[in-house]
Structure 1
């Protein structure tokens, strides 16, 4: 085989490997999400609105200038701009959120199973981080930073992460996700607030805690959450 042919084959093979690492391109310019078919096509959990009925408002929303209430146990709240609030995001692979933190408020450790996240601080100072577990080293490593206004940090998809306001004044951050509905699994609620509850002996053995401690924690989270 000639050198030129070998080179061309290698380039083609590399391009094929790179392409396979990404989602396929959309089949149309947009797919405004609706809950009923209306002669539409079901894509990614939503039906596509008839393109002839699409209007500018399908791609528009407002309200990120209004703070979310942080009057809760965590001292934190979020305004999410996902496909449910902005139907034009359907199949775009994007979403946005505003995070509000009371003084010392926390967005507890959680997982976004369907998207990576990039966050920037608008006001205040945040302690942020994500955890990565190495099967080879059998330990978890924390990647963390203290962020101030204008700083940016990335949380990889599917890894546990958190943010905490470390000052005695409110804080605000904006986040973007590479998914139209990133999802969220808050770890404390998942462990201690599930319905029905996980058997205490499972958590006691797993977390190296006394059963009474587990039962206390389950009571706290089950009283503050609902199915």
Structure 2
């Protein structure tokens, strides 16, 4: 059954990627494989490009998304990205992919945003409570419990989350409309910034006691991406 949903997920993501309008600028050539060598490349869309004549199949390949990840960490989830850093051939193509694994009984992909991409998620196994919050002034929560084969969309830039509400492992794939959508985990950014935000700012913003803010800033904020 797991293998069935794995194949369905890949077919689904391939279809949606071909139909979606990418948020990134449109490419002006067939391929623009990213390289780090500044002497032999041309700088395009944040990356230097390999001579197209030197591109190989390996520039467009990644293996291993069928393997579940270890979720024994404080938040109980792991995100495995497949963006331009993993597949250089994604450069200028405006899409990327992630696999997300969730521990049983509450494994959480914490509230976060993708500043450069809309996300479309399909559940492979387990039961996920997912949602996003609209922008000011409404800050409306739109949420739903998903099961294998279900699909949910998180609009670009909005805070969203997923949590495993089942007693077994859960997993999902998500496509994003950017080769490098970025991620801002809210708790990490607010309470774990480097250097720290002045506690007086956060005390007033969150209407918390100053000592509570300092305690939150002292915590280790786990990065699951």
TM-score, normalised relative to structure 2 = 0.85
C-alpha RMSD of matched pairs (Å):
1.7
Q: What stretches of structure 1 move > 6 A for 4+ residues in a row?
A: none
Deviations 1:54-110 (A, max 9, x none): 111111110101112211110000110000100010000010000000011101100
| Aligned residue number for residue 18 of structure 1 | none
Unaligned runs of 5+ in 2: 1-21
Counterpart check, 1:102 vs 2:103: yes
- The question of whether the paired residues in 2 share the 8 Å contact of 1:192 and 1:221 is answered with no
| Aligned residue number for residue 29 of structure 1 | 30
Q: Distance in 1 between matches of 2:110 and 2:30?
A: 37
| Aligned residue number for residue 131 of structure 2 | 129
Q: Distance in 1 between matches of 2:62 and 2:156?
A: 26
Unaligned runs of 5+ in 1: 1-20
The one of the two structures with greater contact order (alpha-carbon pairs below 8 A, sep at least 6) is 2
TM-score, normalised relative to structure 1 = 0.84
CA shift in 2, pair 1:206/1:23, >3 Å: closer
- The question of whether the paired residues in 2 share the 8 Å contact of 1:38 and 1:50 is answered with no
- The question of whether the paired residues in 2 share the 8 Å contact of 1:95 and 1:177 is answered with yes
| Aligned residue number for residue 151 of structure 1 | 150
Deviation at 1:200, TM superposition (A): 1.2
| Aligned residue number for residue 212 of structure 2 | 213
| Aligned residue number for residue 162 of structure 2 | 163
- The question of whether the paired residues in 2 share the 8 Å contact of 1:112 and 1:185 is answered with yes
Deviation at 1:37, TM superposition (A): 3.2
Query: SS of 2:37's equivalent?
Result: coil
Deviation at 1:161, TM superposition (A): 0.5
| Aligned residue number for residue 56 of structure 1 | 57
Q: Distance in 2 between matches of 1:53 and 1:164?
A: 43
Number of equivalenced pairs:
201
* Structure with greater Cα Rg: 1
| Aligned residue number for residue 202 of structure 1 | 201
